[in-house]
Amino acid sequence: MLVDKARAVILRNVTRKVQAAFDTAAAHKGQKIPVINKDAIIQCHRELLKTAEQNLKEDQTIRCIIPDYREPANPSIPIEKMKKILVKDLVVGKHHKGCYLKVRLTARAIGIELAVQSVAEDEQGACALVRLYFRDEDCTADDHLPYGNVIIIRDPFVWSSGECDAFIVRVDHPYDVLYLYPWVDDLEKMIPNNWKYNFRLDQLDISNLLQLAQAYTREGEHHAAIVRYNCAESKALKLSNPSKAARIIEECRFGRAVTYSRLRQHILATPDVDAILRKSPNNVVALHLRVLRHYHAGRYDLCNEELTRLIKNDPKNHVLQSLRLRAKERYEEVKYGKYNWQGMRQHGSGSFTDLDHADYTHPVKLKKTPKGRRIFTARDVKRGDLLMVVKAIALVTLDNNTCLLLANRDGKVETEFGVAPQLTQEIIERLKREPAGFYEKTLSLLDDGGYETSGYKLPDGSKVLDAFHIEEIRRLNCLNITNIPVHPGQTYAYLPMGTMPLSRVTSYNSGLWFLPSFLRHSCISNAHRTVIGDMMIIRAGRDIPKDTKVTVNCVTPSVWEYPLIKFVCSCPVHKYDVIEGGGPGASEESRHRKNLWTEFSAECERIESARTKPEKWAKLKLNELLPVMMSKLVAIEATMPPVHQIPHIQLAHRYRYIASAYYGAGQRRHALCAYYKVLDSLGVDYYVLEGLDKLIIKKHGQCSEDLLHSYRDLAGLSTTPNIRKAWRKASIDVYEILYGERFSYDSVVHTLDFVESKAPCACVGIDNFLIDDAREMKKRMQIDLEMEREWVATTEALAMQELMTGGARRAWAKTAEGGEEDPGTQKRVIERIMGMDGEEMTSKVGKEAEKETHRKVKEGGNKENER
């Protein structure tokens, strides 16, 4: 997989080439296309294919060039009322509104880049290239442009890409092409007489057509099968034998309905299924197809009722029983949000992304605001609660992640790397499978950047699909997201472990989800999203009251992958980051903070450059460098607002950098201090009671990967079992919020056991404060023994020793009067702590710790008391 720098070079080079080609093509704009002979057009047809293959070889990308936007043709206008034009009348760069071009396909269609291309001739024999965009990639090129067929192109548009001096009749909108099949009476009338006998299918008899349709169905070429079923049915209607015709028509309906069901186009299968059931109400196959229609339409209660009746008549039918079990599972998902998370993760972790699950959206609602539609909570939700689970309208995996979308907007070529062209194509195909009105009443609600669509309607009353409108919706609402929850290579990125197994930037799947598209970004979000397969899961990152706007963090490590969004984050956290602070006119404090950020980043680069080079790592004095880096972060923290106002997300990430280094160096106490700073920066309110082996988290802070890994490493640093278990549970809880489920935690979040360093810490702390050798301790504290001896003899020192001795005697006396603790003491202590504020907590914990220490000393005997 290419890294950022290599992809950036590709983008620049391709953009330069395409811009030059556009400049060349601009010289022909407004001119009529030259009429050349058929052989020359076919040669140009082949050269364009070679050029596309060469571009793919050089740039490692498949191109999709979007021309200037234009509206689709109006299908409600009869062909007879439109103006007929010929190839010689076509003008380069012109959208011939109100006209139509009738041509016959005279060459085998080829797939070229992300389109289908063929050679066509008009009634006078003049030839031109025809190219269709945004077509179903599951069909062969010949299915889209069948050799010998006659087509009508409404409102033709002539486009020049600037390559091979080719002028192409380009079709982007799905319904701008009308296929004239001779077996359809209304269309057969529009075919010229000299073209009527060139159709291969029309020359076959009914039995051959049915055999071909069944063969295509077995091979998975469903669209070709449907065309042959249609042709056979039209011929059967003309038979003189009514019984034979009825039998053939019923066979065509069965085959076509099954084929549509395999394509999940159950709405298109409805007329055939209903016709079969009107004639045979108890037909098992038709009833099964109707049940599948209910299932895929989300009518699970109705699906259960029909399945119960079918199973009653056929109790040994395992297919029906399995379908009823699935329908019950989907019903519980829709109603209660009960998902088989472990099964979902197992099925969605591979290349298969089309998961069989239903949507759950009860805790949220779509609400209009002055700035547009937004997602709000419909009830009070708790931290970790499921807000919604939504299936994608369309999803394209990273297998096609070598596509390049180039758009000519305002005279400038804009490029986008990823799977965008396939996603637009998949959205169009999904819209064809949905009920009439889905495009107008659902998809059109998404942000389209103010794109003005036409009001044209299809015969069924649904809105005409506008490919460029869908492209704008895709551009502004698609989400680039990966199925891998955590990158294992980044987990311990700061240890000297050699080259990382993964690059920092990974490839992302691209998809479009309806409700999640209305979520707005915040760096301090109250919810978090993830994707398993094609299911987007969103959980609450904190307690959210009713009627609160739901926000998520939309920034990914590869913002450059979709630059056409032109998204700029304006969250307040960036005011204190090195990226934003310290500019011209900034305050002294801001400039000072930026200098500290810069110095800290320089030290990080020193560590990273030495991490993979043993000779440099050996010379790096990490124990001296890390405290200096920590002091810089503490100084930066002093210039920032309190955590309860704005979580210090940037500081938390840097503190974890230092903590991970201490963790790898085996410095337990320093690692603990750094990890505690991570929690403090994210607003976590917690108490660690090591004497009682208890961890209390009174307030959960901002969920992030830094919090997840900090909790995990704190579990590794803990020396008592209950605290270790509590830190681990907190880490799993954060993992569930960030990545939807908790079952894959151990498989994804790798834990590196903490190994204590044998070398003693150079500074004074809990781990070396009670060493037996007082002289060694004082030496570490850098105390001058001669000066200490002189100071102890002074009057002030003697008075201070007397005060300390008196206080200690009174404390021992009070302890002796208190006696032993009863067995329920720890439980009562925890219960009291949970109801205290911070100041009372600090005071009480100190008293309890003192009491615990006195009890242990008392058990030690008289000798310990005397000492």
CB atoms within 10 A of CB 75: 17
CB atoms within 10 A of CB 619: 9
**Percent of the residues in the chain that have a pLDDT greater than 70, as a whole number:** 77
Q: What is the pLDDT of residue 838?
A: 46
Nearest to 541 by CA among 556, 560, 522: 522
What residues form DSSP beta bridges with 246? none
User: Which contiguous run of DSSP H or E holds residue 286?
Assistant: helix 284-296
What is the average per-residue pLDDT within 168-192?
A: 89
In the sheet with 394-396, reading across from the earlier edge strand, the strands are: 394-396, 509-512, 479-481
All residues at 6 or more sequence positions from 782 whose CB lies less than 8 Å from its CB, including other chains: none
Q: In 3-state terms, what secondary structure has residue 564?
A: helix
Phi-psi region of 323 (alpha: psi -120 to 50; beta: other; left: phi over 0): alpha
What is the average per-residue pLDDT within 63-84?
A: 88
Phi, psi (degrees; rounded to nearest 5) at 271: -60, -40
**Angle between helical axes of 284-296 and 300-313 (0-180°, round to 10):** 160
pTM of the model: 0.80
Q: Which residue has the higher pLDDT, 349 or 292?
A: 292
DSSP calls for 248-264? HHHHHHHHHHHHHHHTT
Q: Which residue has the higher pLDDT, 489 or 762?
A: 762
Alpha carbons 782 and 93: distance in angstroms, whole number:
83
Phi, psi (degrees; rounded to nearest 5) at 178: -120, 120
Tens of pLDDT, residues 853-864: 455 445 544 444
End-to-end CA distance of the chain: 68
**Length in residues, the chain:** 867
Give the position of tokens 């007929």.
84
Tens of pLDDT, residues 363-417: 999 999 988 899 999 999 999 999 999 999 998 876 544 566 777 666 666 777 6
| Eight-state DSSP code of residue 139 | S
What residues form DSSP beta bridges with 509? 481
Instruction: Spell out a b/e string for 776-802, using b for 16 or more CB atoms within 10 Å of the CB, else e.
Output: eeeebeeeeeeeeeeeeeeeeeeeeee
Alpha carbons 753 and 305: distance in angstroms, whole number:
55
By the 8 A CB rule, do 573 and 17 touch? Answer: no
Tens of pLDDT, residues 230-283: 999 988 988 889 999 999 999 999 999 999 998 888 888 999 999 999 998 988
All residues at 6 or more sequence positions from 634 whose CB lies less than 8 Å from its CB, including other chains: none
**Percent of the residues in the chain that have a pLDDT greater than 90, as a whole number:** 33
DSSP calls for 664-706? HHT-HHHHHHHHHHHHHHTT-EEEEETTTTEEEEEE-----HH
Q: What is the pLDDT of residue 130?
A: 94
Q: What is the pLDDT of residue 812?
A: 60
Alpha carbons 396 and 645: distance in angstroms, whole number:
40
Q: In 3-state terms, what secondary structure has residue 403?
A: strand
CB atoms within 10 A of CB 506: 16
Tens of pLDDT, residues 747-783: 888 888 888 877 666 554 444 444 445 555 555 555 6
Measuring CA to CA, how many Å separate 841 from each of 23, 676, 694, 724, 822?
Answer: 73, 18, 14, 22, 22
Q: In 3-state terms, what secondary structure has residue 83?
A: strand
Residue type, 858: K
Structure tokens at 677: 């700073």
Alpha carbons 775 and 765: distance in angstroms, whole number:
16
Q: In 3-state terms, what secondary structure has residue 435?
A: coil
By the 8 A CB rule, do 180 and 172 touch? Answer: no
Whether 692 has a pLDDT exceeding 60, the answer reads yes
What is the pLDDT confidence band of residue 357, given thresholds at 50, 70 and 90?
very high
Structure tokens at 675: 């990890």
Tens of pLDDT, residues 429-453: 888 888 888 898 889 888 888 888 8
- Helix, strand, coil share (%) of the chain residues, nearest 5: 50, 15, 35
Nearest to 512 by CA among 542, 544, 575, 470: 470
By the 8 A CB rule, do 508 and 556 touch? Answer: yes
Lowest-pLDDT choice from 70-74, 270-274, 557-561, 611-615 = 557-561
Can you say whether the dihedral through the CA atoms of 232, 238, 242, 246 is positive or negative? Answer: positive
By the 8 A CB rule, do 151 and 177 touch? Answer: yes
Whether 337 has a pLDDT exceeding 90, the answer reads yes
What is the pLDDT confidence band of residue 711, given thresholds at 50, 70 and 90?
very high
What is the pLDDT confidence band of residue 346, given thresholds at 50, 70 and 90?
confident
**What integer best gives the mean pLDDT of the chain?**
80
Q: Which of 218-232, 292-306, 771-785 has the highest mean pLDDT?
A: 292-306
Q: What is the pLDDT of residue 114?
A: 80
CB-based contacts of 74-79 (< 8 A; 24+ apart in sequence): 74/154, 74/454, 74/456, 74/464, 75/154, 75/175, 75/456, 75/457, 75/458, 75/459, 75/464, 76/456, 76/457, 76/458, 76/459, 79/152, 79/178, 79/190
Q: Which residue has the higher pLDDT, 457 or 10?
A: 457
Q: What is the pLDDT of residue 2?
A: 39
What is the average per-residue pLDDT within 132-151?
A: 86
Q: In 3-state terms, what secondary structure has residue 158?
A: strand
Structure tokens at 398: 């990273």
What is the pLDDT confidence band of residue 362, given thresholds at 50, 70 and 90?
very high
Alpha carbons 14 and 442: distance in angstroms, whole number:
36
Whether 835 has a pLDDT exceeding 60, the answer reads no
Alpha carbon 723 to its chain's center: 35
Alpha carbons 298 and 279: distance in angstroms, whole number:
27
Alpha carbons 627 and 665: distance in angstroms, whole number:
13
Structure tokens at 805: 């001795």
Alpha carbons 15 and 260: distance in angstroms, whole number:
41
